Amino acid sequence: MKIRTFNADDHPILRKGVTDLLKESDDLEWVGCAADGKEALGKIRSLQPDVAILDIEMPHYTGLEVAQILMEEGMKTRFVLLTLFKEESFFRNAMKAGVKGYLLKESNEKEILDCIYSVNQGKPYVNSSLTHFLMTEGSANNILANLTDHEVNILKLIARQKTTAEIANMLFISPKTVSNHRGNIGKKLDLSGEQNGLLKWAIENRELLI
């Protein structure tokens, strides 16, 4: 059975390029496209494709917002975000939302098709030049797994730039206890004795603590 595919992009040339690729593939059935997020939302609800490839930046709704809205409604369509953005924050937000595929617009035709096949089977697919984000995420999560729940809570407060005294008051413990926790967290994160090293780490990795 052919994979029913849909695509949305506010750039006509890019939209046509992906549309043509989907139409020409023997394993895919192209069911439609849209030029903005609002149109994409309505058409995907109506067409219920197997896979929808969405540009992140579109008028009315971003591709990520469209995917989030439809997934919250329980739609079984699987989503791929096609974007110019290489920033890690965009990637992590997409993964947290449950998006299965993440591709850069510089991707070649084989990568786009491989992504569609993988996502349709429920397997995640990330552009090859972004896989280091997955490695970073995995290693960071492994480190956080070594922390106790109490230490993670303290780390979250540190990321919000709360002082030792403020954390002590918020958690109803002594400042000395907070200092001990900070020392233990620093050791578990393998941080050097650099001044404010724990604060810098917490701020830089704030998204992992949400």
Strand order in the sheet with 28-34: 28-34, 3-8, 51-55, 78-83, 101-104, 125-126
Cβ atoms 70, 41 nearer than 8 A? yes
Assign 104 to helix, strand or coil.
Answer: strand
Are 106 and 169 found together in one domain? Answer: no
pLDDT at 97: 80
Are 89 and 150 found together in one domain? Answer: no
Residue 133 lies in a domain: no
Looking at residues 69-81, what average pLDDT do you find?
93
The Cα–Cα gap between 137 and 132 comes to: 8
Report how far apart, in Å, the C-alpha atoms of 197 and of each of 142, 162, 191, 193, 203 are.
Answer: 19, 14, 7, 7, 10
Q: What is the pTM of this model?
A: 0.63
What percent of the chain is predicted at pLDDT more than 90? 52
Residue 158 lies in a domain: yes
Indicate the range of 53-57, 106-110, 193-197 predicted with least confidence: 193-197
Residue 53 lies in a domain: yes
Are 154 and 89 found together in one domain? Answer: no
pLDDT at 44: 97
Residue 62 lies in a domain: yes
Please name the residues in contact with 123: beta carbons below 8 A apart, sequence gap of 6 or more: 100
Residue 134 lies in a domain: no
pLDDT at 135: 43
- The angle subtended at Cα 46 by Cα 54 and Cα 58, nearest 5°, is 25
pLDDT digits over 12-22, tens only?
Answer: 999 999 999 99
Are 20 and 89 found together in one domain? Answer: yes
Are 96 and 185 found together in one domain? Answer: no
Are 9 and 107 found together in one domain? Answer: yes
Range of the domain at 173: 146-209
- CATH number of the domain enclosing 156: 1.10.10.10
Are 78 and 14 found together in one domain? Answer: yes
pLDDT at 24: 94
Eight-class DSSP state of 10: S
Better pLDDT: 105 or 175: 175
Assign 28 to helix, strand or coil.
Answer: strand
SS3 content of the chain, % helix, strand, coil (to 5): 55, 15, 30
Are 10 and 108 found together in one domain? Answer: yes
pLDDT digits over 146-184, tens only?
Answer: 788 888 889 989 988 999 999 999 998 999 999 999 999
Q: Which alpha helices (DSSP H) does 25-123 contain, by range?
A: 37-47, 63-72, 88-97, 109-120
Are 64 and 108 found together in one domain? Answer: yes
- CATH number of the domain enclosing 91: 3.40.50.2300
